[in-house]
Chain A
Amino acid sequence: SQQGEEDPQALSIQEGENATMNCSYKTSINNLQWYRQNSGRGLVHLILIRSNEREKHSGRLRVTLDTSKKSSSLLITASRAADTASYFCATALNTGTASKLTFGTGTRLQVTL
């Protein structure tokens, strides 16, 4: 079963606007990661936030993590047409042999001119 669920499933905004995507998960985690996927390509890592962190920034990206609510959000500020992609959250849990990621179903972001 999926650990992370993104909301909304699809989002359409105009260039220059901010885009916010949310992720909820079910169990304890070591860290939470956000990835971007352009059509026909592999996933690209955007940002990793550890379970003891509450907020993290990287360029135009801002990620928050609320472990008490088991939720995270990704904010993309001043969006550009090149931000059009699918965005996935993934929760990481360290097992005895490796850290495994469990992905949500993603948010499709469309940024129009």
Chain B
Amino acid sequence: DAGITQSPRHKVTETGTPVTLRCHQTENHRYMYWYRQDPGHGLRLIHYSYGVKDTDKGEVSDGYSVSRSKTEDFLLTLESATSSQTSVYFCAIRAESNQPQHFGDGTRLSIL
């Protein structure tokens, strides 16, 4: 299995609080991605990174920010969590073009 660790694995928090999810990889892959998975929607891309300090928006980026200060870590931040952001969040990594993505085991986030 690809070396991807997501933390925390589960989190319950209240509306309006900031939340940061961490994705850590040991593969030295260039590309990293954050997705959310909701029933009836499959996986949707939030943000992605194509190198240190290089990030871009995905399909559902509103309300989320990311940072990548070193190759191995990609952080996803919800500045002020809302109930609509309750979801399962997956991080993925990829080496180069036309290569598959490898996924972490997800973070289940509940916002009350």
A: residues with CB less than 8 A from B are 2, 30-31, 33, 35, 40-45, 48, 50, 88, 90, 92, 94, 97-106
Contacts and interface: CB of A to CB of B under 8 A. Distances in A.
Contact of A2 (B31, B41, B94, B105): B41
Nearest to B96: A99
A30 B98 contact: yes
Residue among B40, B50, B98 facing the most chain A CB atoms (10 A cut-off): B98
Contacts, number: 65
A48 B103 contact: no
> Interface of chain B, helix or strand or loop or mixed?
strand
A107 B44 CA distance: 16
A100 B106 CA distance: 19
Given A42-B90, A42-B104, A45-B101, A100 B43 contact: no
Given A30-B98, A100-B58, A105 B42 contact: yes
B1 to A, nearest CB: 9
Interface residues of B, number: 29
A105 B41 contact: yes
Interface residues of chain A: helix, strand, loop or mixed (majority): strand
B22 interface: no
A45 B102 contact: yes
A97 B54 CA distance: 9
A50 to B, nearest CB: 7
B41 A99 contact: no
B100 A33 contact: yes
